[in-house]
Amino acid sequence: MLEIKNLHVAVDGKEILKGLTLSIGAGEVHAIMGPNGSGKSTLSYTLAGRAGYDITDGSILYKGEDLAAMPPEERAAKGVFLAMQYPVEIPGVTTMTFLKTALNSQRRARGQSDLDAVGVLKLVRAKAKALNVSEEMLKRALNVGFSGGEKKRLETLQMALFEPSLAILDETDSGLDIDALRLVAEGVNALRDPARAMLVITHYQRLLDYIVPDRIHVLAKGRIVAEGGKELALELEAKGYEHIVGQAA
Amino acid sequence: MTALSAIALSEDRRARAAALVQDRGLPHRRIEEWKYSDLRAVLGEAGLSAVVAQYLIRNLPHGMDVWDLSRPDAPAWVTDNFARETGNTMNAASLAVADAGIALRVPAGMAIDDPLKLDFTGAGHVRALLVVEAGASLNLVEGVVAADFRNVGFEIALGEGARLEHVRICPALDGAVLVEEAAVRIAAGATYRGHFTGFGARLSRMELEIALEGTGAQAHLSGVALLDGRHSDITTHVSHLVGDTHSSQLFKHVAAGKGRAVYQGKVTVAKGANGADSSQTAKALLLGDAAEADLKPELEIFADDVKCAHGAAVGDLDAESLFYLRARGIPEAQARRMLLQAFLEDAVAEVGHAESREMARTELLAALEKVA
């Protein structure tokens, strides 16, 4: 599904990712753990195609295609979804209008016909309930005045709605209390699918209690320094990053 | 400057207006209030002599009174409210030379749902007077038709407890030079809502001179300028003459290409007008290096106990918002349009009259297709 080879990424001329290699197959859930400043968010933004993240070397293949050559909207239409750490607030655009526009944009790019307002509403309602996203939230301006939990629930709702092939979750646990975390994790787990790959990016082991990964990669100073099964998270929790980062350095 | 069939005005009053114009000449950029809208440069002296501008009433609601200002022996509701003294040069110019003009009245206590639709057409100077008497209410939809040069002198008087919503939508008029001054007097307990959406002209200047004359009087001004090239100037002066008066202003501008958006807003709170409450917001987004916005909110306070807030900001589209929308599959051009529309929306939402609001929104969406 996703093949990252020797990826080097610079932001404002400063190299952040320094030769990252990673491979995720369909149906797999991988986690990337790492301390602050290790390049976790740079990786997620690079995968989603944010401007200003310059690939200076290496490659990203998604379903065999060069992901780096595509604008963000094309990546989305082809099934790449980034659940953001800090979803932006956009006053003046209602959440429902946004969902409809995004969904139909993706459909159009795939050669499918638009869904009408009723069709979108039905689809959204069917998915919103499990994530405790209320009708009232859908009427409000996108993310405006939403609590941290509401924002993350809406990100998860979008993931359920767009049904991506590759879902990247950037610090989905940040700002969530334990109940909100459980709710979001359940939503994510419900989307586990043999055809879908997931990349869970997190600083803390806590999230991985709820979204149990097949494989864990430890990112430090712009490259993967350790890999292992789910038990690696427990080791990191017990001994801290310094232990492993120090070993690899 | 001899008009063939000038509007009915005492020789005295006309002479005073003519003298003011003679003395000052056409406004130009070295006059502070005209710094961003150099009328003399685009017009030369020629502008003041053309006299054939007209009005066109496209819809006259039942119950309103109409008076042609060129007729002699005007009734009291006209003479009491028409040709008030003003220091405004262009207002004086239209008084001095206009040969057409219309006066309209909603009699006391009459609430009119059907909108009054009034257009100004042709080149030259024209006068209009609208009186909404005590307890009456009206929706006015003002239309703007292209002209090389037109100067509209509009006087509006609201009696006690009266209500007027005034919506003016000005299409993109590349070659036009349009100047209008609306002088609005608002009595106790009366409310004026004015909304001005414009797509710019070679030079477009809408001036609002608002006088809150009685306790509880309110003025709510809003507007949008969407300029793909062209010029738009909204200049307001709101005077809180007595206490417990309320005013708000919300103007949003988007300038692309060589578009130039101007907002000059002055709020004056007179001595003793305690309890006056005013807010003033003007924001502009610039798309491209050649676009320009000049936002100048100003406060002049002579009273002690007032609540006045003002703010202005010029910026670009938010890169993070744009990325968020694109990362969800929305193509860049469409995402930009969504953000622009969202930026303008709160000013559009100020329009109370549903039909006018939808019209403004539709025109904005069509124009956004071209800008983004």
User: Which domains does chain A possess?
Assistant: 2-248 (3.40.50.300)
Which pLDDT does position B47 carry in this prediction? 57
Beta strands at B101-106 and B65-68: parallel, antiparallel or unpaired: antiparallel
Cross-chain CB nearest to A102 (options B319, B321, B330): B330
CB B126 within 8 A of CB B150: yes
CA separation (Å) from B17 to A115, A153, B1, B95, B323?
62, 66, 12, 6, 56
Element (H, E) at A171: none
Flag whether B1 is in a domain. Answer: no
Say if residues B236 and B312 touch (Cβ distance below 8 Å): no
Q: Which of A71, A98, A158 sits opposite B326 (nearest CB)?
A: A71
For testing contact with chain B, the best of A67, A86, A104, A105 (most B CBs within 10 A): A105
Neighbours of B254 (CB within 10 A): 28
For residue B319, the chain A residue with the least C-alpha distance is A51
Contact between A188 and A206 under an 8 Å Cβ cutoff? The reply is: no
pLDDT at residue number B4: 46
Distance CA A168, CA A171 (A): 10
In a domain, B81, yes or no: yes
B329 vs chain A: nearest CA distance in angstroms? 4
pLDDT tens digit string along B298-343?
A: 999 998 888 888 888 888 899 999 999 999 999 999 999 999 999 9
Tokens standing for A163? 């049904």
Segments in chain B below pLDDT 50 = 1-4
- What is the widest separation between alpha-carbon atoms in chain B? 69
Residues 6+ apart with CB under 8 A from B8: B69, B70, B71, B72, B73, B74
The CB-based long-range contact list for B345-349 (8 Å cut-off, 24+ gap) reads B345/A92, B346/A91, B346/A92, B346/B250, B346/B252, B347/B195, B347/B222, B347/B223, B347/B224, B347/B250, B347/B251, B347/B252, B348/B197, B348/B224
Q: Is B319 on the interface with A (CB under 8 A)?
A: yes
B350, part of any domain = no
Within 8 A by CB and 6+ apart from B76, the residues are none
Q: How far apart are CA B154 and CA B17, in angstroms?
A: 15
pLDDT of amino acid B313: 87
Question: Which chain B residues are Cβ-neighbours of A166 within 8 angstroms?
Answer: none
Closest residue in A to B348 (Cα) is A92
d(CA B189, CA B85): 24
- Which residues lie closer than 8 Å to B11 by C-beta, 6 or more apart? none
Please give the order of strands across the beta sheet that includes A65-66. A14-24, A2-11, A53-62, A65-66
* A150: its two tokens: 């509401």
Query: What are the strands of the beta sheet with B54-59, ordered from one edge?
Result: B54-59, B116-121, B137-144, B163-170, B191-198, B218-228, B246-256, B277-287, B307-315
- How much is the pLDDT for B311? 85
Whether B6 maps to a domain, the answer reads no
Q: Please give the ipTM for the structure prediction.
A: 0.95
Flag residues of chain A having pLDDT under 70. 246-249
Number of domains in chain B: 1
Mutate to test the interface with A, among B224, B325, B344 (most CBs of A within 10 A): B325
Q: Return the percentage of chain B with pLDDT > 90, whole number.
A: 80
Distance CA(B96)–CA(B11), nearest Å, equals: 10
Question: Does residue B204 lie in a domain region?
Answer: yes
Q: List pLDDT tens digits, range B168-207.
A: 999 999 999 999 999 999 999 999 999 999 999 999 999 9
B317 touches chain A (CB under 8 A): no
Does A76 touch chain B if contact means CB atoms closer than 8 Å?
yes
The DSSP element (H or E) to which A78 belongs, if any, is none
Q: Which residues contact A126 (CB under 8 A, 6 or more apart)?
A: none
Taking a C-beta distance cutoff of 8 angstroms, is the pair A184, A151 a contact? no
CB contact (8 A) between residue A92 and residue B334: no
Query: Residue B333: its chain A contacts at CB < 8 A?
Result: none
Q: Which residues from A are below 8 Å from B330, CB to CB?
A: 73, 101-102, 105
Domain limits at B152?
11-317
Does the CB of A140 have a partner CB in chain B at under 8 Å? no
Closest-CA residue to B64 (of B155, B135, B130)? B130
In a domain, B322, yes or no: no
A interface mutation test: which of B252, B330, B338, B343 has the most A CBs within 10 A? Answer: B330
Q: Which residues pair with B234 in a beta bridge?
A: B206, B263
- Is B271 contained in some domain? yes
Check if the beta carbon of residue B104 is closer than 8 Å to that of residue B136: no
Residue B354 lies in a domain: no
